[in-house]
Amino acid sequence: MPLTHISLRSGKPEAYRQAICDSFHQAMNETFNVPEDNDFAIITEHESANFRYDASFLGIARTDDLVFIKITANNTRTIEQKKALFKRIAELLSENPGLRPEDVFISLVEVEKENWSLGNGIAQYA
């Protein structure tokens, strides 16, 4: 049950933003065993003054097209699945909407299954 927050600089067209969501969701389906109908993502756009990053941290050359992807998910995946997810997200975002892999920044936050309520005030996985 991943919940994804995607942050990018303002100004990209709707089709670009939708392509990010679609490519990201495909990667989740392929590598994290996320069902097709399990699609929960929030995109926020930020003016340049509110979108800070280091252009060369760890020797990675980033541009203003940088996208931050924060995934909150159950802590049930292996390290191999996580590596496969990160790689596949970068590959698919490179294909559509054309992001450079260097501009794909991913953070995975793992939580216990009982920490979710997906509606009706019920902890569905507890």
Catalytic residue annotation? 2
Count of all residues that appear for the chain in the document: 126
Identify the DSSP state of 55.
S
